[in-house]
A and B are shown apart, each in its own frame.
Chain A
Amino acid sequence: MNQTFTRLGVMLRHALHSKRKDATQHLKKLRTSKFIYTAILCCKVLVFGVLIQGISAQQLLAQTTQNVSLKGTVVDDADGRGIPGITISDSNRKVYGTTNENGAFSVTVPKGTVLNFSMIGYTTIVRTINESQTGLNIRIKESSSSLNEVVITTALGIKRSERALGYATTTLDSNAFTDAVASNWTDALSGKVAGLNLVRNGGPAGSNKIILRGENNLTGDNEALIVIDGVVASSSARRTSATGGGAYGTSGDIMPADFGSALNDLNPDDIESVTTLKGPAASALYGQRGANGAIVITTKSANKNRKRLGITFTSNTSWEEVGRGPDIQQEYGAGLDGVAYFSHNASADGASTRSTSASWGPSFAAGGMFFQYDPATKTQGTMRTPWVAYANPIDGFFKTGIETSNSVSLDGTVKNVGLRFSASHGNNEWIVPNTGLERTSVSLSANAKLTKKLNLVLKAAYNNRHSDNLPATGYGNQSLMYWFMFAQPNVNIDWYRDYWVPGQEQRKFVDITTSNPESPYAISYEYINAQRRNGVLGSLQATYNFTKELSLMVRSSIDYNHDTRETRRPYDASGLRYTQGSFREQNINSYEINADFLLRYNKSLTKDLQLTATAGGSQMRNRYHKAELRADGLAVPGIYRLDNNLNPLISVPDTARYNINSFYGVASLAYKNYLYLDLTARQDWNSTLASPLRTDNVGFFYPSASLSFIASDFWKLPKQISYLKLRGSIAQVGSGATTPYLTAYNYILAANGIYPGPAMTNPSVLPNLNLKPLSTITYEVGAELRLFKSRLNFDFAAYTGSTKNQILSRVIDRSSGYNIAVFNAGRVDNKGLEMSVNATLLQSKSFKWTMNGTFTANRNKVKELADSAVVLRSGPLSTSGGQIMAVVGGSLGDIYGFGLQRSPDGQIVFDATTGLARENASDLKYFGNAMPKFRFSFGTAVTVDKFTASVLFDAQFGGVGHSLTFTRMASLGKLKLTLPGRYNGLIGEGVVQNADGSYSPNTTVATDIEGYYDSLYGSRQLEGSIFRTDYLKFREANISYAFSKRLVSSLGLSKMTLGVYGRNLFIWSPWPAFDPEFGTLAGSDIVQGFETGQLPSTRTYGVRLVVGIN
C-alpha cells in the first residue's frame, strides 16, 4: 500500500518538477491532451503526493552545488510598510520561504536562481540572485486586480490569508455599503453575497434577519451570528416590542412595532469590511451561535501610515417613496351587494350604506349625486354631492420620505497610538406622516503599541436612537395597513386629517366609513410607538508576544443596550381594548459580555511546513431584562403618564438569560504556501440546556477540518489560469439554542397578576425536560478560479449537510392541554450550490468595465420526524387552514391549507345553483414552499475617467407566500381584478358537478358577485391567495464622480467624490401586495410564508458627498 503511494508520488514529482527536457515535454503533452485526467488523478493522490513531494524537494536541495543566502524586507511601494505572506519562489514554482509579519525574509537559494516575490493582489517582482545579500529592500506594488482581499478576518478575529481558507467566504469592502446607502445598511448585502438571504420587515426602523445558506430551521434560531470587531452583537437583536398582540391583531391588543435591532444603528461609513462566513466550517469556531454562519464586521481604524491627521466628511441625502403596490380599482365606491346608491347615514335616498368596508357600491362612471360625508360638519352633507373617486391610498396618503445623514471621521497616529474617531447623525422622516427616527453615533478606535511585545486595541461605539413614532405593523384596528386594505375610493383621504368629533377632542374619533379601521392620520398622530435607545458596543483587546512564535491575546467585550419604549393609545382607540386609552412603558436592559483568550503558537516545523496552533476559551453572559408597566385606561384623556391610570397599574416583567462557556483550538498547517489544512475543535457548555434538575447534557463537542489547495501554485498551469484554488471541508456544529427556560415546567402568573393571590395558570407552551443540543454536519467543496490575469474570476461552492435534533416549537392540538410544544426534530438534510463570478471586460487607462454575478440554490428535506407531520406555524386566517407543516419527505417551510374543489382534470368546481367556487375544507393541500429555490444577482460597473456608474439586479425564484393584503382586498372589491361581472354577474371558468358525480362545464351565472370573488380569493381557502414570491429587482444604481486631484488640492482637500444613487428602483413580480420579499413580525422574530398586512416597501434616490481633508 505504502509503496504504491510512494511510487505515485515519485511519478507525480517526476512528471511535474523534473528539470529534464523530456519530462517538460511530457508535461506539455499531459497539459494538452490529458490535463483533465491528470487533474482528477492529482486530486486523488493530492494528500499523499504533497507529502512525498516535500521529501523530494529536500532531496533536490541537497543536490545543488553552491548556495547563497539572502536577507531583507518586502515593503509596499505605496507606504513602505512590510508585507507579510509574500511567497519567495523560483521560476519552477519551488518555494523557498515567505515573509514574516514584518515583511522580513531570510532564504538560502542556489546561486543564479531567478527568484519571484509574489502574492495575490501584488505585481510579482523578479530578481536574479548571484550573491549573498543582507538588507535587501524589495518594493512591491499593488496589482490592479480587483481581488485585493488577501487577508481577511475569520472567526474569532483571526486574520488569515484568503488562500489558506478551506471554506467559502465573501468579503465586501466599505464601498458596498456606501455607494448606494441604505437606511438599514444590511439591505446592501442583497445580491452581493451568494447564499445570503434577507428576511425583511418594513418600516423606517425595519429590521432584517440575515440567513445564510437557506433556512434549514424555521422556528428556532436561524439567523447568522453578527460580530462587530469581535463583539457578538446578537444580543441586541430583539427587535420588536411584542407588547401585547401579534401581527394578526384583530384581538384588539396593542400591535407590534418594529423597533429595529441595534445592528441597524451601525454607521455604514465606519465599516471597513464585512466578511460572510457561510458554512459551519467557517464559523465552527464561533461555537453554537455560529451554526448558521456568521457576518464578521470590521470597522475602520486609524491608517497607520498617515503622518498627518486625516479628516473625512460624508453627507448623504435620500428620498423614498412607495415602490409598488396592489392594483387598486377606482371605478366603484362603498356598498354591499352592488347597491345602486350611497348614503352617509340614512337619508331621503334610503338607509345608510356607509358602514361597510366593501366597495361593491355604485359606479363612479354613472355620475350619481348622493348624500355623502361632509368634512366641514363631519356628518352627512345637507346636499347631494357628485359621486367621484379620490386619490387611491398609495398616492393620497403616503408621502415622500427623506433621510439625511452626515458623518465625520478623524484619524491619525500620535506616537505609538493610532486613533480613529467618527461621529454621525442621521434623520429619517418616513413615508408615513409623523413616523421616522433620528440616530446619533460616536465611535472611537485606538490602537497602541505599548511596548515591543504588547499591543492594545480599544474599540468603542455609542449609539443613540430616538423616535417619536414608529408605525405598528400587521393587520388589526390599530394598524395603518388595515385601513389601507379597507380604504374606500369615494372617501377623500384629506377628510381623515381632522379626526376628532367636534367638542370631543381626545375622546372620540369620527367614523367616516365603518368604525373598524381608524383614520390613518389618527393612527399616525395619536397611536404612538416611541423609542429612546442608548447602546454601547465596546471591546478591549491586548496582545502580548512572548516570543516570535508565541503570543497571547485577551479580550473582553460588551454589547449593552438600554431601550425605553412607549406605546400610547388614545381614548376611543379603534380595537376593543382601549376605549379609555392606554399608556405603556417598557424599560429594557440587555447586554452580552464576552471574555475570551487566544494563545497562538506559530512555528515552522520544517522549511516548508508551517504550524499555527491556537487555543482559546471564552465565557459569555447574555442577559435581557424588561420591565413593563401598563396603564390600560387613562383617567384624563390625552395625558400619557403612568400616574394618569384609571385602573391599577399592571406590571409585566420579562427576562431571559443564558451563559455559554467554551474551549476551542485550531491547528493550521501550511505547506509551502499551496496546501493548507485547518483542524478545529470546540466544546461548548450552554446553560439553556440545563434544567433545575440536571446539567448532564449541557455540553457538546464539535470538530471541523478544512483543506485548501492552491493548484495554480502546485502545477504550472496554462498561463490563462492566474489562480486556481480547490477547497474542501467537513464540519460539525452543535447548538443548544439561545432561548432559556425551555427545560422546566413553570406555572405562570395569570392575566399579568390581576387576580388576587396572585393567581397562576399552567403554561401554554409545553417545555422539554430532556432537551438535547442540535447537531449539524456539513460537507463542502469549492473552487476559486481566476483567468486572464484575474480578469475573469469564479468562485464555486457546493455543500450538503444534515441537522439532527433541531430545537423547534410545534403547534399541537389543544386537547393535549397546551398550545405549543418544544421538541427536538428528527433530521433535516440541506444541500446547495453557490457560485459567484466577476469579470473585468475592458480595461484601459481611463476606462474600465466590470461585471459580477452570483447564483445560489438551496434545498432541504425532512428525513426523520417524531410524528408523521408537525405543524410549525399557523397562518393568520384559520378559516383557510393555512399552516406551515413539516412532513417526512417534505421541506421545512412547506405551506399547506384548504384548496378549491377541483375536478379530476384540475378545473375549479363551481356550485351549480349559486355559481360560486367551492372550497375543499376537509383536506389540507400542499401549495409550495415559503423559501425560494434559486437566487441570482447580476451587476455591472463602468468607469470612464472620473465617472463610475454601476447597477445591480437580483432575483429569486421558486418560493410561494400567502398574501393577506390580497385576500382581504379582493374579497372587499378593492382590486381591479374584481371589476368584471358587477351588476350582470359572471360565469366562473370551470365545471359543475352533476348529480351522478360527473362534471360538466359551468354555465351558472354567479349573480352574488361579492360572494363570487370571495369564494375564489377569500378566506375560506388558502389557494386563491397563494402567490409566487419570485422577483427581479433593480436593486441598486449608482453614479459617482471623483473630482480631479488638482481641483481638490486647490481647495485644500485630499479627495472629493459626489454620487447619486437609487435603491430598489423597480420590482418585477407576480406578488399582489407590495414586496415579495416580506417578513412578518412574530414575537421578536421575523417569519416568512404568511404576509400579514405588510408595510409598503420603498424606492430610494439619494445624493452622497464625500470630502477628505487630508
Chain B
Amino acid sequence: MKKIRNINRYTFLLAVGVSLASCKKDFQEVNTDPIGVNAVSADKLLAPALTNVLNANVIRNRNFNNELMQVTVDLGEAEGRIFRYDVRRNFADYTWNTWFVELTNFRDINTIASQEGSVNTSYQAISKIAEAWTFQLLTDTYGDVPYTQANQGKAGILEPVYDKQKDIYLSLLTKLEEANTLLTAGQAIVPSSDPVYQGDVTKWRRLGNSLYLRLLLRIAGKADVNAQVVAKMKEMIDTNPSKYPIMENNTHTAKILWNGTNSSTALYSSPYMISVRAVDFRGPGISEFFMNNLSTWADPRINQAYGRNNVNRWGIAPGPGGYVGVPSGYPIGGSPVKQAYFYSEGQSGSPLSLQTDPYTGIIMNVAEVDFILAEAASRGWINGTGEAYYYKGVADAINYWIPSLFTNGNDAAVRSYALAGDFDWDNTFPLDNATVGSSSKLQLIHLQKYYAMFLVDFQQWFEYRRTGHPFLPKGSGLTNGGRMPARLNYPTVSISTNATNYKNVVASQGPDDINTLVWWQRP
C-alpha cells in the first residue's frame, strides 16, 4: 500500500515537473514577430530612407523655404505666416523628426555593409554620402545638433549630447573623403535599391564630391577653417580633378523621379500628391520677387512654348494681371489679390502642374555645382574668373527643366538671354556689395543660383543666410524686427526628453530661438 502511495507521489511529482518544463514551451516562437525580420541586407534600407528624407525636404521647401525666400506668399489663413518671419515653434518638429529617424537607416546601411560576409564598399560610401547630405541639412537648420551620439538608441543612448556645428562639419568632410575613396572600387549595388542613379555608383561618386563642395563653401567664410577649405577646393578642381569627379551635366543631377501620376499612394508618388491637398497646392500666390524677375527676363521656364498645352514648364498660372506676383511681407490686414500661382492637380483642362511633375524631387543639381565654382573662382580660390561657370550654371539650370534648350554654357543663346535680362556677367563688378540694389558678382551668381535651387530643400535660405544674396525686398508687414530667421528652434519634445543636453546646448550656443546665429553665420 505504502509502495503504491509512493508511486503515486512520484507520478505526481513527475507530472508537475513535466508541466513546469512546458510552461515556457514555444514562448520564443510565440513572441517572435512573424511580420518583422531581425536582419536585413544593406540594399533593403536605402530606397525608402532616401525617399523619406527627400519627401520632407520637398514639403518643407514648399511651405517654409519658399515663403521665407519669397518664392510664394501664402495668402490663406494657415497657422503662422512664415513670409512675415512669424515661425511657430512646431515648425521645427517635422524635419528634425524625419531626418533623424532616417539617419538610423543611413547609418545602419554602413554598419551592415561593413559586416563580415556582407561587405560592400559602395553601400558604405552611399551611406556616408546620405549621412552628410542629411546632417548638413540638420546642422544648417538648427545649429548644434546631436551627431556623435545620435541614432544610438539601440545602444541605449536615449539622450544624446549635442555636438558643435564645426565638429560636425569637419567630421562630415572626412566622411565624404572616405566615400570618394570607397567608391573607386566601383562595387556593384542592387539597381532597384537606388532610386537616384539606378545603381550607377560612378554618379554617386560625383554626388559625393559635389556635396563636398557644397559643405566646403558653406564654411569657407570661417577664418579658422578657411585655409583648409580653400586648399581642398583647389585640390579637387585644379590640381587633382580626376581623383574628385563632380557633377558636370544634368545626367549627373541627383534626383528621385516621381511617378508622374496623381496617385498619392503608389511607389514614388510625388510628395505634393501625398501630403498637399490640391486646393492648398494652388493656394499660395507667387511672390512679386520671384515672378517679376522671370517676366522681365522672358524666362524660358515661364514660356508657354516650352511647356505643355499652353502651360509653361513650371506650371505657373497667370493671375488677373498676367505673370505678376504679389508683394511678400505686405501690411497686416492688407491682403493683396492673388496673382500668378502654381497650377494644381485636378484643375479644369488638366494643366501641367508641378504637383504631379516627376522632376521636383531634387537632391542636388549640377547648376548648383556650377555656381559654387563660379563663386570660388570669383573669390580667387580656384582658377578662372567665374564667368564660364556662371553661364554654365545658367544653362544647366534651365536645361534641367527644358532639356537641350541650350547646348552648353558657351551657347550664344545663353549669353543673349542674360544680356536681354540684364544679368550678363560683368568682370568689372566688385566681388560683393552689401548695399541693397547694388551690383556685384555675388549678387549675379546668387540671383541665378536662387532660381537654380528652386525646389531644393532649404538651400536658398541657407545661402541667403550665408551671403545676404540675392537681395530680397522687405515689406512693412514683417515681424521679428524684419530679421530673416537664422535657424529653427529645437523641437519641444527635446526640451523635455533630452533636458540636460538641451540646457547645455542653449548655454553654449545661445537662446533657443530663430535669431541665434549658427557657427558659420557668426563673424
Which of A's residues lie within 8 Å of B, judged by CB?
251-252, 336-337, 351, 355-358, 511, 515-516, 572, 575-580, 617, 630, 632-633, 646-648, 650, 653-655, 657-659, 661, 663, 685, 687-695, 698-699, 740-741, 743-751, 754-764, 766, 810-819, 821, 867-871, 874, 877-879, 881, 883, 885, 896, 898, 921-922, 924, 1008, 1019-1020
Whether B497 and A818, one on each chain, are in contact in the complex, defined by CB atoms closer than 8 angstroms, is: no
CA distance A760 to B46 in the complex (A): 9
Whether B153 and A821, one on each chain, are in contact in the complex, defined by CB atoms closer than 8 angstroms, is: yes
CA distance A812 to B513 in the complex (A): 22
Q: Which of B27, B79, B88, B105 meets A690, CB within 8 Å?
A: B27
A758 contacts which chain B residues (CB < 8 A)? 44
CA distance A174 to B234 in the complex (A): 88
Interface assignment of B101: CB less than 8 Å from any CB of chain A = yes
Q: Which of B31, B93, B491 meets A658, CB within 8 Å?
A: B31
Q: Which of B23, B100, B267 meets A814, CB within 8 Å?
A: B100
B40 contacts which chain A residues (CB < 8 A)? 747, 760
Whether B23 and A744, one on each chain, are in contact in the complex, defined by CB atoms closer than 8 angstroms, is: no
B107 contacts which chain A residues (CB < 8 A)? 817
Q: Chain B 471-506, CB within 8 Å of chain A: the 1/0 string?
A: 000000000000000000001111111111000000
CB of B120 to closest CB in A, whole Å: 15
CA distance A921 to B263 in the complex (A): 39
B101 contacts which chain A residues (CB < 8 A)? 762, 764, 814, 817-819
CA distance A1019 to B32 in the complex (A): 42
CB of A894 to closest CB in B, whole Å: 11
Within 8 A of A (CB), among B145-182: 145-146, 150-154, 157-160
CA distance A818 to B495 in the complex (A): 16
Whether A357 and B28, one on each chain, are in contact in the complex, defined by CB atoms closer than 8 angstroms, is: no
Whether B19 and A698, one on each chain, are in contact in the complex, defined by CB atoms closer than 8 angstroms, is: no
Interface assignment of B34: CB less than 8 Å from any CB of chain A = yes
Q: Which 3 A-B pairs have the closest CB atoms?
A: A746-B36, A817-B151, A750-B48
Whether B44 and A357, one on each chain, are in contact in the complex, defined by CB atoms closer than 8 angstroms, is: no
- Can you report 14 A-B residue pairs in the complex whose CB atoms are below 8 A from each other? A577-B274, A633-B263, A663-B20, A687-B24, A690-B27, A744-B36, A754-B265, A760-B40, A761-B105, A816-B100, A818-B154, A867-B159, A879-B89, A1020-B88
Q: A-B contact count, CB below 8 Å?
A: 277
CA distance A885 to B19 in the complex (A): 43
CB of A924 to closest CB in B, whole Å: 6
Most chain B beta-carbon contacts within 10 A, residue among A657, A661, A688, A757: A757
Known: A336-B335, A817-B104. 16 other contacts (CB 8 A): A336-B77, A576-B274, A647-B266, A693-B28, A747-B36, A747-B40, A756-B192, A761-B48, A812-B497, A813-B158, A817-B153, A821-B153, A869-B499, A881-B495, A883-B493, A922-B511
A356 contacts which chain B residues (CB < 8 A)? 77
Q: Which chain B residue has the least Cβ–Cβ distance from A869?
A: B496
CB of B330 to closest CB in A, whole Å: 13
B34 contacts which chain A residues (CB < 8 A)? 655
Q: Which of B38, B88, B192, B345 meets A692, CB within 8 Å?
A: B38
- Stretch from B275-283, B374-382, B515-523 contacting the other chain: B275-283
CB of B191 to closest CB in A, whole Å: 9
Interface assignment of B262: CB less than 8 Å from any CB of chain A = yes
Interface assignment of B30: CB less than 8 Å from any CB of chain A = yes
Whether A760 and B44, one on each chain, are in contact in the complex, defined by CB atoms closer than 8 angstroms, is: yes
B493 contacts which chain A residues (CB < 8 A)? 811, 813-814, 871, 874, 878, 883
Whether A881 and B492, one on each chain, are in contact in the complex, defined by CB atoms closer than 8 angstroms, is: yes
CB of A1014 to closest CB in B, whole Å: 9
Q: Which chain B residue has the least Cβ–Cβ distance from A625?
A: B34
Whether A881 and B89, one on each chain, are in contact in the complex, defined by CB atoms closer than 8 angstroms, is: yes
B76 contacts which chain A residues (CB < 8 A)? 355
On whether A816 and B267 interact (CB within 8 A), knowing A336-B77, A575-B277, A760-B37, the answer reads no
Q: Which of B266, B332, B499, B511 meets A633, CB within 8 Å?
A: B266
Whether B90 and A577, one on each chain, are in contact in the complex, defined by CB atoms closer than 8 angstroms, is: no
Interface assignment of B96: CB less than 8 Å from any CB of chain A = yes
Which of B's residues lie within 8 Å of A, judged by CB?
19-20, 22-24, 26-28, 30-40, 43-49, 76-77, 79, 88-90, 93, 96-97, 100-101, 103-105, 107-108, 145-146, 150-154, 157-160, 190, 192-193, 262-267, 273-280, 332-333, 335, 337, 345-346, 491-500, 511-513
Whether A748 and B264, one on each chain, are in contact in the complex, defined by CB atoms closer than 8 angstroms, is: no
CB of B295 to closest CB in A, whole Å: 23
CA distance A818 to B497 in the complex (A): 12
CA distance A337 to B332 in the complex (A): 9
Whether A690 and B153, one on each chain, are in contact in the complex, defined by CB atoms closer than 8 angstroms, is: no
Q: Which chain B residue has the least Cβ–Cβ distance from A693?
A: B28
Q: Which of B93, B264, B496 meets A883, CB within 8 Å?
A: B496
Whether A813 and B89, one on each chain, are in contact in the complex, defined by CB atoms closer than 8 angstroms, is: no
Main secondary structure of the interface of A (DSSP, over half): loop
Whether A695 and B27, one on each chain, are in contact in the complex, defined by CB atoms closer than 8 angstroms, is: yes
B103 contacts which chain A residues (CB < 8 A)? 817
CB of A866 to closest CB in B, whole Å: 9
B332 contacts which chain A residues (CB < 8 A)? 1008
Whether A647 and B32, one on each chain, are in contact in the complex, defined by CB atoms closer than 8 angstroms, is: no
Most chain B beta-carbon contacts within 10 A, residue among A761, A815, A885: A815
CA distance A896 to B493 in the complex (A): 11
CA distance A811 to B101 in the complex (A): 13
Whether B265 and A577, one on each chain, are in contact in the complex, defined by CB atoms closer than 8 angstroms, is: yes
Whether A744 and B497, one on each chain, are in contact in the complex, defined by CB atoms closer than 8 angstroms, is: no
On whether A813 and B88 interact (CB within 8 A), knowing A754-B266, A756-B192, the answer reads no
Whether B264 and A632, one on each chain, are in contact in the complex, defined by CB atoms closer than 8 angstroms, is: yes
CA distance A574 to B88 in the complex (A): 25
Q: Which of A650, A685, A744 meets B32, CB within 8 Å?
A: A744
CA distance A760 to B40 in the complex (A): 8
CA distance A978 to B209 in the complex (A): 58
Whether B160 and A815, one on each chain, are in contact in the complex, defined by CB atoms closer than 8 angstroms, is: yes
Whether A748 and B35, one on each chain, are in contact in the complex, defined by CB atoms closer than 8 angstroms, is: yes
CA distance A358 to B274 in the complex (A): 27
Whether B100 and A817, one on each chain, are in contact in the complex, defined by CB atoms closer than 8 angstroms, is: yes
Q: Which of B93, B151, B345 meets A816, CB within 8 Å?
A: B151
On whether A816 and B36 interact (CB within 8 A), knowing A579-B278, A687-B30, A1020-B88, the answer reads no
CB of A48 to closest CB in B, whole Å: 36
On whether A815 and B47 interact (CB within 8 A), knowing A685-B23, A878-B90, A879-B89, the answer reads no
Whether A814 and B36, one on each chain, are in contact in the complex, defined by CB atoms closer than 8 angstroms, is: no
CB of A458 to closest CB in B, whole Å: 27
Q: Which of B96, B100, B264, B500 meets A577, CB within 8 Å?
A: B264
A657 contacts which chain B residues (CB < 8 A)? 30
Whether A816 and B274, one on each chain, are in contact in the complex, defined by CB atoms closer than 8 angstroms, is: no
CB of B70 to closest CB in A, whole Å: 22
Whether B263 and A690, one on each chain, are in contact in the complex, defined by CB atoms closer than 8 angstroms, is: no
CA distance A1048 to B346 in the complex (A): 70
B100 contacts which chain A residues (CB < 8 A)? 814-817
On whether A816 and B159 interact (CB within 8 A), knowing A337-B333, A579-B264, A757-B43, the answer reads yes
A699 contacts which chain B residues (CB < 8 A)? 23-24
CB of A335 to closest CB in B, whole Å: 11
Whether A757 and B44, one on each chain, are in contact in the complex, defined by CB atoms closer than 8 angstroms, is: yes
Whether B160 and A813, one on each chain, are in contact in the complex, defined by CB atoms closer than 8 angstroms, is: yes
Whether A868 and B89, one on each chain, are in contact in the complex, defined by CB atoms closer than 8 angstroms, is: no
A336 contacts which chain B residues (CB < 8 A)? 77, 335
B79 contacts which chain A residues (CB < 8 A)? 879, 1019
CA distance A692 to B44 in the complex (A): 23
Q: Which of B31, B97, B154 meets A687, CB within 8 Å?
A: B31
A647 contacts which chain B residues (CB < 8 A)? 263, 265-266
Whether B150 and A817, one on each chain, are in contact in the complex, defined by CB atoms closer than 8 angstroms, is: yes
CB of B434 to closest CB in A, whole Å: 29
CA distance A814 to B105 in the complex (A): 13
CA distance A484 to B192 in the complex (A): 46
Q: Which of A252, A687, A877, A878 meets B277, CB within 8 Å?
A: A252
B90 contacts which chain A residues (CB < 8 A)? 877-879
Q: Which of B32, B146, B267 meets A741, CB within 8 Å?
A: B32
Whether A811 and B497, one on each chain, are in contact in the complex, defined by CB atoms closer than 8 angstroms, is: yes
CB of A210 to closest CB in B, whole Å: 27
Whether A817 and B33, one on each chain, are in contact in the complex, defined by CB atoms closer than 8 angstroms, is: no
Whether A685 and B152, one on each chain, are in contact in the complex, defined by CB atoms closer than 8 angstroms, is: no
